[in-house]
Structure 1
Amino acid sequence: MSNELSLANHAVEVFYDGECPLCLREIQLLKWLDRKSHIQFTDIAASEFNASKYEKTSTQFMDEIHGRLPDGSWIIGVEVFRQLYAAVGFGWLVWLTRIPGISHALNFGYQVFAKNRLRLTGRCNAKTCKLD
């Protein structure tokens, strides 16, 4: 299996949860902004999606947003959003997110969101949200 993206003109591949209403809004915006098709969109909620094809588990993909660069390297969390917005021409915004205080706040905020995403979107059940 090749770790490289299937189409050379993509700057980044994003693995998103198509059943997450908030996530889907962000993806729809990015699809609209991606007029030059620099992003490859992969829905991890699609019935044909197979996490093991990427040598990862479904839980890994569900726990935090994943992205893949053309060289096959993986990125996670806020860095995925930076790459996505850079791919659609918002490099100036990406630069702002790298400023130390802003960067730390974004990383913290995303971790809180990722950990509570299913609960926040009304998708918790005994299987998806374990109570400690």
Structure 2
Amino acid sequence: MSGVTVWHDGNCPLCRREIALMRRLDRGGRITFVDATGPEVCPSDRAALLARFHAMEDGRMLSGAAAFAAMWRAIPLLRPIGLLARYRPVLRLLERAYSRFLIVRPRLQRWLLRREARA
């Protein structure tokens, strides 16, 4: 299995939680996590990297559900789901779900930020 690079929004409380979980599951260290809000050079437009989930697998830049599937394939526990996502109908379904999630993401982020502020 080759390595995967994942760009995430380090300022997003939802993203931080998800990436923390993925780091714990990535026991083999196959994924390089890059905070797209940090000083690192971005491979594409920083705003685009922050608007949608992005990953690079085998030299190909992926976004949305395809990027999640690449990350899952690098984690043995989630690999079966990532492999299943290689089938177009499954990937289309995951992308549709991800697109709907992006609509509610700002509300979830605000809710988590308020929750963190109270803690």
TM range (shorter): 0.7 to 0.9
* Matching residue within 39, 42, 50 for 2:34: 42
Shift of 1:95: 3.3
| 2:66 and 2:91 in contact (8 A); partners too | no
In the other structure, the counterpart of 1:112 is 100
Greater shift, 26-35 or 113-122, is seen at 113-122
* Matching residue within 52, 76, 100 for 2:63: 76
> Within 5 A, what are the aligned runs for 1:29-108?
29-46=21-38, 48-51=39-42, 54=43, 56-71=44-59, 73-89=60-76, 90-98=78-86, 102-108=90-96
| 1:10 and 1:39 in contact (8 A); partners too | no
Shift of 1:35: 1.2
Q: Indicate how the Cα distance of structure 1 residues 119 and 58 shifts in structure 2: closer, same or farther if over 3 A, else same.
A: farther
Question: SS of the residue aligned with 1:14?
Answer: strand
Work out the CA distance in 1 between the residues paired with 2:90 and 2:2: 28
- Name the count of aligned residue pairs: 110
TM-score for both structures, normalised by structure 1: 0.70
Bigger proportion of residues as helix: 2
Q: Indicate how the Cα distance of structure 1 residues 44 and 11 shifts in structure 2: closer, same or farther if over 3 A, else same.
A: same
- RMSD of the TM alignment (CA)? 2.4
TM-score for both structures, normalised by structure 2: 0.76
Shift of 1:69: 2.3
Deviations 1:66-115 (A, max 9, x none): 111243x2111111111111111132222344555543332111112234
Unaligned 5+ residue runs, structure 1?
1-8, 124-132
| 2:6 and 2:34 in contact (8 A); partners too | yes
Structure with higher Rg: it is 1
Percent identical: 27
Q: Indicate how the Cα distance of structure 1 residues 101 and 75 shifts in structure 2: closer, same or farther if over 3 A, else same.
A: closer
